[in-house]
């Protein structure tokens, strides 16, 4: 049973491990796919499941592999690309096409286009900021906000704290595997690839920083994905580091779920959220003890149980 966590009463809970990661699961439900045109960009979507309409912001190819089919009986998951995961238009666009408000408005365009009504919204990693800022801008359209594996900011302190966590907490084995991966996939190899391929392979060779199992190979999860690095570099390198998520939190009445993996070396320790917690009106934090950056995939049974119970208790 979940308990709503108020302004000054936030509790961590720990979960138990699975023996193995799940295999990639194809849902038994019918899959609805399509494209939404926004300006000069064509955003793909994939819809699976029945129940509460739930937008998953990010990559419509990658994220259906991350969330397991158990959720499809409770949630109508709408996996929606943002501009960082679609091929660039044939004409040049300036960085205003990658502005955070533009990306947020793309989500609203999709909600209207698909006639979803009031939605839950899920953002993983940096996409959690897109989900949060969307909920602030369109609060009447959001029933639940789910943030997964995100720090409260991405400024210099975030980078320093993450690096320190890796230095001080990562095992010798993890560090050795990263070194082996860099020998297997050296910079000279990456230099021969397209920018999209380079982005994905760099993620793969750094997998011990992201996954509880330091030997896990995430390559199958990325199969078929395209990364528009111009968008990603600008949003992650310029926009997110300047974002102050505290702005507007005093008006956010939507229940918020925050899932964090204890072995996520891409992020600082979960304690970095301590100063921010009191600013949320209704925040539930769950720490998954045997996960890295992706608890829905690494501990799917427990993640699903906790998420669905939380939604039920905040319906």
pLDDT along the chain (315 residues), means of 10: 28 34 38 93 96 97 96 96 94 90 98 97 98 98 98 89 95 98 97 98 97 97 97 96 96 97 96 95 97 98 98 92
**DSSP character at residue 267:** S
Is 162 within 8 Å of 265 (Cβ atoms)? yes
Tens of pLDDT along 62-93? Answer: 999 999 999 999 999 999 999 999 999 988 88
Tens of pLDDT along 97-107? Answer: 999 999 999 99
Tell me the C-alpha distance between 133 and 117, whole Å. Answer: 18
Residue 6: per-residue pLDDT: 26
Residue 90: per-residue pLDDT: 84
Look-up: residue for tokens 């319906």?
Answer: 315
Tell me the C-alpha distance between 159 and 170, whole Å. Answer: 16
Tell me the C-alpha distance between 107 and 238, whole Å. Answer: 20
Residue 315: per-residue pLDDT: 80
Is 52 within 8 Å of 244 (Cβ atoms)? no
Residue 159: per-residue pLDDT: 86
For residue 235, CA distances in Å to 129, 153, 257, 278, 285 come to 11, 13, 23, 27, 26
Tell me the C-alpha distance between 50 and 146, whole Å. Answer: 18
Q: At what angle do helices 195-205 and 172-184 cross, to 10 degrees?
A: 150
Residue 30: per-residue pLDDT: 64
Closest CA to 258 of 160, 145, 158: 145
Is 86 within 8 Å of 226 (Cβ atoms)? yes
Catalytic residues: 125, 264, 293
Residue 219: per-residue pLDDT: 97
Q: HSE (CB half, 13 Å, CA atoms) of 278?
A: 3
Summarize the chain as % helix, strand, coil (round to 5). 45, 15, 40
Which tokens belong to 10? 């936030």
CATH placement of domain 32-156+226-313: 3.40.50.1820
């Amino acid at each position: 049973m979940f308990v709503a966590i108020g302004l000054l009463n936030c509790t961590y809970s720990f979960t138990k491990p699975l023996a193995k990661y799940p295999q990639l699961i194809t849902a038994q439900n019918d899959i609805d796919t399509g494209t939404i045109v926004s300006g000069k960009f064509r955003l793909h979507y994939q819809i699976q499941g029945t129940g509460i309409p739930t937008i998953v912001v990010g990559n419509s190819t990658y994220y259906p592999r991350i969330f397991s089919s158990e959720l499809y009986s409770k949630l109508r998951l709408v996996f929606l690309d943002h501009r960082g995961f679609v091929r660039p238009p044939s004409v040049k666009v300036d960085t205003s096409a990658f502005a955070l408000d533009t990306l947020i408005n793309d989500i609203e365009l999709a909600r209207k286009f698909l006639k979803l009504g009031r939605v839950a919204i899920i953002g993983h990693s940096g996409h959690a900021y897109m989900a949060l800022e969307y909920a602030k801008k369109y609060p009447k359209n959001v029933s639940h906000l789910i943030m997964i594996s995100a720090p409260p900011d991405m400024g210099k302190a975030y980078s320093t704290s993450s690096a320190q966590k890796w230095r001080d907490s990562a095992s010798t084995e993890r560090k050795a595997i990263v070194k082996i991966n860099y020998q297997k996939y050296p910079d000279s190899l990456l230099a021969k690839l397209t920018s999209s391929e380079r982005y994905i392979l760099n993620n793969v060779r750094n997998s011990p920083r992201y996954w509880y199992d330091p030997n896990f190979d995430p390559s199958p999860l990325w199969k078929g994905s395209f990364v528009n690095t111009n968008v990603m570099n600008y949003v992650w390198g310029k926009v997110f580091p300047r974002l102050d998520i505290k702005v507007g939190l005093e008006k956010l009445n939507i229940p918020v779920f925050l899932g964090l993996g204890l072995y996520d070396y891409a992020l600082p320790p979960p304690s970095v959220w301590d100063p921010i917690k009191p600013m949320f009106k209704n925040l539930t934090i769950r720490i998954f003890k045997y996960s890295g950056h992706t608890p829905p995939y690494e501990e799917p049974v427990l993640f699903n149980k906790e998420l669905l119970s939380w939604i039920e208790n905040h319906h």
